[in-house]
Amino acid sequence: ELISNSGAVPGIKVDTGVKKLALSNGETVTEGLDGLSDRLKKYYDLGARFTKWRGVFKISIKNNLPTIESIKANAHALGRYAALVQEANMVPIVEPEVLMDGEHDIKTCYQVTRIVLEETFYQLSNSNVKLDGIILKPNMILNGAESGIKNETSQVSEMTLDCLNKNVPKDVPGIAFLSGGQTEFEATKNLNEINKMNDSNFIMTFSYGRALQQSALKYWSKDIKDISGTQKVFNHRANMCTLAAQGK
């Protein structure tokens, strides 16, 4: 558990890990709800003002995944987590991630993401979560990484926007995409196109890991003493993502 110290409002990841779902075919559920209320009070006192919890959903045509059990278990945890966070006067980042791994096509990703979002917001509603006080961190709608099908930016953008507009309540103020296995260039290009096409009231931005850090880490690994050069590479990528969040 790490609190950021970048000069911005600090936040914290509060789930304790993705664990195997009992009696499942390799599916997972995210744990960490036990004792979370008390932990949140400590994090708030340390200065944290937002938190993140990730639920992971794997698509497999062969094994008929994700199962309803997996979707319900993870969505229920996201709902309970978000309620506890709002009760602690912090902002919950709700991250239901449909993994890019798999041989599925983009239409399958759309349908699974639709079902996951539907159940997630059902559970958020059941937990009395105020939707205007959350940030959604979803995946983009993509072909599976092992499908052999190239992702076309225009199709990714159109289907992602369509899925979110139809399945995310209008009360949600902001959507911060995860990069989910895309290259930094793909993730940036797709975000840019999404914002060029975005005619909703949702603010569409990024919450990238690999797609923000990969070039900087690769550069730094060649000479860990070249801090300024590494920062220059990172700053360029951050600037590109910032422009993409504006469709520029």
Residues 6+ apart with CB under 8 A from 132: 171, 172, 173
What are the helix (H) ranges across 1-105? 36-46, 68-87
Choosing from 27, 95, 184, 193, the catalytic residue is 95
Is position 19 annotated as part of the catalytic site?
no
Both structure tokens of 45:
């006192």
Q: Are 116 and 75 in contact (CB under 8 A)?
A: yes
Tokens of 57: 């959903």
Cα–Cα distance for residue pair 194/160, rounded to 1 Å: 8
Nearest 5°: phi and psi at 46?
Answer: -80, -10
Per-residue exposure over 102-111, b if at least 16 CB sit within 10 Å of its own CB, e if not: bbbebebbbe
- Which of 58, 137, 189, 193 is the catalytic position? 137
Residue 97 annotated among the catalytic residues of the structure: no
Tell which residue, 84, 187, 95, 196, has the closest CA to residue 138.
95
d(CA 109, CA 24): 21
**Helix, coil or strand: residue 154:** helix
- Residues annotated catalytic, as ranges: 95, 137
